[in-house]
Amino acid sequence: MPSFFLAWRYLWTHPGQSTVMVLGVTIAFYLPLVNHQLVDEFDRTIGARAASTPLVIGPKGSRFDLVLHGLYFRARNNGNVPYGEYNKLKQLEIGEVIPVHSKFTSQGYPVVGTRKNYFHFRNRKIRQGKAMQIHGDCELGATVATKLGLRPGDTLLTDRENLFDLAGEYPLKLNITAVLAPSGTADDTTVFVSLETAWIIEGIWHGHDPSLDHNGTSPKLIKKHLEITEENADSFHSHEDSETFPLTAVLIRPESKKAQALLLADYEDHPSIQALKSPVVMDELMGMILRIRDFLDAHHSLVTLAMGALLALIVALTRRLRTRELETLTLLGCRKGLQWTIQITEMTIVLGAALICAFGLTYLTIQFAASYLLVMAG
């Protein structure tokens, strides 16, 4: 093992040169490795969420926007699904049917109105507190509670859509009743309310609070927000037909492939509503991402080629700089073949160290990004 010993001693006594070579090769290995691992992790997480929600029904428009909205509450829909459509689907008894109303935010987090069966649908458990009881109650995702420092018993205001509309609807003060257990999904960054609460925020439902009456001065310039308490909760109602109340999406898990096929056929020619297979749509989205990854792979190949050329240049230059050292080795009886073996061993050590660093950095990156990817795509 004299070649390994001599190669190691040379690298050890030239730390600057060795560090630069290891770092350069590490980057050349790290970029394609982390690119593939992140895309694979992202594909796995969005695939799992989409598979658990086979169908998303919503207003016609962008297929990607509708599925992203239904699964992750991220995109905005340009239309609505009447509440009567949800009732019709529920009466068909074709599987689990979940209504979703997601138009508003609180501290930048989506406020999602739904029914209690959503939590059974997603298998979400309460970590602290109790379930919603009256209008105005809400349950926080784990990340929301942690980031905002909130717990059951605290309150949270919804965001105003237009800060300059002084005559517009009040923000609603939500009463936090529970914090959900962490799930590593988009539900962790969501504020859940009942459908009625979401409709109150939208102004479809209203209450008869004496403090909201216009008596001389406009109370809208005095009152900061709308608050629902046990005393006034029963006064909130709507004069409109509940069948026309808006939803932004309906999530469906059909009980059979036949039921799914029939649903897709029913909405195929519907003038304003579409039914989409969320796994198919997400596969299309991932296809676009994979094409971008292929482009990056080509770029990384060029980077690796350039790094290989640089290493070859370094070897050639170091042989010139090490002329006297190599002559001394020759005088000591070291054959030319052994000298080349020493330099090849040096490069092998550099490549080995770079691979270890690249895999280590990739692992740390995936661990650091895993929670973010799960929330973003879970």
- Per-residue pLDDT 10s for the chain (378 aa) are 566 776 777 678 778 878 878 887 888 888 888 887 887 777 777 778 888 899 999 999 888 899 989 998 877 777 899 999 999 999 988 889 999 999 999 998 999 999 999 999 999 999 999 999 888 899 999 999 999 999 999 999 998 765 544 444 678 889 999 999 998 888 999 999 999 999 988 888 766 655 544 443 444 444 455 778 777 777 777 777 888 999 999 999 999 888 899 899 988 888 999 999 999 998 888 887 777 777 777 777 777 787 778 777 777 777 676 667 666 766 666 766 666 677 778 788 888 888 999 899 888 887 776 666 555 544
The answer to the question of residue 164 being in a domain is: yes
Residue where a domain stops, chosen among 222, 247, 272: 247
Q: Are residues 31 and 148 in the same domain?
A: no
- Please enumerate in sequence order all residues whose Cβ is within 8 A of that of 183, keeping only pairs 6 or more positions apart, or say none: 122, 124, 141, 142, 378
Given this model, what pLDDT does residue 1 score? 57
Its domain, for residue 188, covers 80-247
Cα 26 from Cα 30, distance rounded (Å): 6
Given this model, what pLDDT does residue 286 score? 81
Cα 148 from Cα 252, distance rounded (Å): 32
Q: Are residues 216 and 329 in the same domain?
A: no
The answer to the question of residue 279 being in a domain is: no
Q: Are residues 22 and 92 in the same domain?
A: no
Given this model, what pLDDT does residue 170 score? 73
Q: Are residues 41 and 105 in the same domain?
A: no
Paired strand residues for 110: 105
The answer to the question of residue 74 being in a domain is: no
Q: Give the tokens for residue 329.
A: 């080795």
Sign of CA dihedral 333, 335, 340, 342: negative
User: Dihedrals φ, ψ of 199, to 5°?
Assistant: -70, -30
The answer to the question of residue 75 being in a domain is: no
Cα 125 from Cα 130, distance rounded (Å): 10
Domains: count for the chain:
2
Given this model, what pLDDT does residue 195 score? 93
Q: Are residues 33 and 112 in the same domain?
A: no
Q: Are residues 100 and 214 in the same domain?
A: yes
Given this model, what pLDDT does residue 59 score? 93
Q: Are residues 39 and 88 in the same domain?
A: no
Q: Where are the beta strands (DSSP E) in 14-84?
A: 55-59, 81-82
Would you say how long the chain is, in residues?
378
Given this model, what pLDDT does residue 226 score? 77
The answer to the question of residue 68 being in a domain is: no
Given this model, what pLDDT does residue 132 score? 92
Q: Are residues 103 and 217 in the same domain?
A: yes
Cα 22 from Cα 353, distance rounded (Å): 7
Give 203's Cβ-side CA count (13 Å radius): 8
**CB contact at 8 A, 276 and 66:** yes
Q: Are residues 23 and 126 in the same domain?
A: no
**CB contact at 8 A, 358 and 33:** yes
Residue where a domain stops, chosen among 198, 219, 247: 247
**Burial grade of 286 (CB within 10 A; 0-12, 13-18, 19 or more):** middle
The answer to the question of residue 63 being in a domain is: no
Q: Are residues 101 and 196 in the same domain?
A: yes
DSSP string over 288-357: HHHHHHHHHHHHHHHHHHHHHHHHHHHHHHHHHHTHHHHHHHHHTT--HHHHHHHHHHHHHHHHHHHHHH
The answer to the question of residue 235 being in a domain is: yes
Q: Are residues 17 and 151 in the same domain?
A: no
DSSP string over 111-150: EEEE-THHHHHTT--EEEE----STTEEEE-HHHHHHHT-
Q: Are residues 107 and 239 in the same domain?
A: yes
Q: Give the tokens for residue 45.
A: 């997480």
The answer to the question of residue 323 being in a domain is: yes
